[in-house]
Amino acid sequence: MDEKDVYSGKTVEEAIQIGLATLGATEEQVEIKVLDEGKKKLIGGVKARVKVVKKVSDGVRAVNFIDGLLDILKLNAVCELVSDDEKVEINITSTESSHIIGRHGEVLDALQSLAGAVANIGREDYKRVVVDCENYREGREKTLKELAERLAKKAVERQRRVNLEPMNPYERRIIHSALSESEEVKTISSGKEPARFVVIIPNNEKPYDGRRERNSGERRDRGRGDRRDGGRGNGRGRDRREGGAPRSSGGSKAKREIRFGTFLGNSGNKPEV
């Protein structure tokens, strides 16, 4: 039998304590298996033997998984476990960071989702996992916060709500958080994954004139009558550029919504993201 991590003592308890002292761990941090309870004899007694092994933490399990995945992808990278407490933070350093981050962070987000699933195996309460690559997320967060402030100002000036482009839950949280203390706007999330997006609603929004509000999932008007097409078509091109609903035959202005956003990537009562 492999004697690695096997400790002996006069009693099981003594053997366990020897193992804990050797590993520098507490009982909560290890897995203990009793191999032999020992026997007391006047002559030639048998010592108790236990195997004491440190438990693999959620973070270590996630790092090992990512390391194996990067090897399969043949990417030259090193994973570092930055934090393994209330949340798991993992940083990846690589000479091929663009491949690990991917277009608009899509590959990094996928790695984070997989690492989160691995880290939470067997857990009743979910532990958040963040995977970063050379401070990409810090720069992303700064850009999204600036975007949120800029579009909130535009929404207030135009007195109309602004729809951002679809974002993942992590990025939507950043937008919600950036505007959570604003006294001029509020934010909500709308749509269904993977096309769920944030809506910035100004407190001074113009009253709706009674027409049916455009469904958030409805396709934008694609009329051909804007000036870039030489004025041909049914005259709905300007509505398409504004991002609002097409005009009705009655000639009154329907409510317009502007959709801005970026793929450079809580307000109220913690809106769903």
Ordered by where they begin, the domains of the chain are: 6-54 (no CATH), 58-134 (3.30.300.20), 141-210+217-259 (3.30.1370.50)
The rounded distance, in Å, linking the Cα atoms of 80 and 132 is: 10
Q: And the tokens for 170?
A: 């992590």
pLDDT of residue 48: 87
**Contacts (Cβ under 8 Å, ≥6 apart) of 187:** 175, 176, 179, 180, 198, 199, 200, 201, 266, 267, 268, 271
pLDDT of residue 55: 83
pLDDT of residue 185: 97
Q: Which of 89, 106, 107 is nearest to 167 (CA)?
A: 106
What digits encode the pLDDT tens for the residues 107-133? Answer: 999 999 999 999 999 888 999 999 999
The alpha-helical segments, DSSP class H, found in 179-255 are 237-242
pLDDT of residue 22: 87
Instruction: Assign 78 to helix, strand or coil.
Output: strand
pLDDT of residue 131: 95
pLDDT of residue 43: 63
pLDDT of residue 194: 85
pLDDT of residue 41: 65
Residues of the chain with pLDDT under 70: 1-3, 41-45, 208-273
pLDDT of residue 150: 96
What digits encode the pLDDT tens for the residues 181-191? Answer: 999 999 999 99
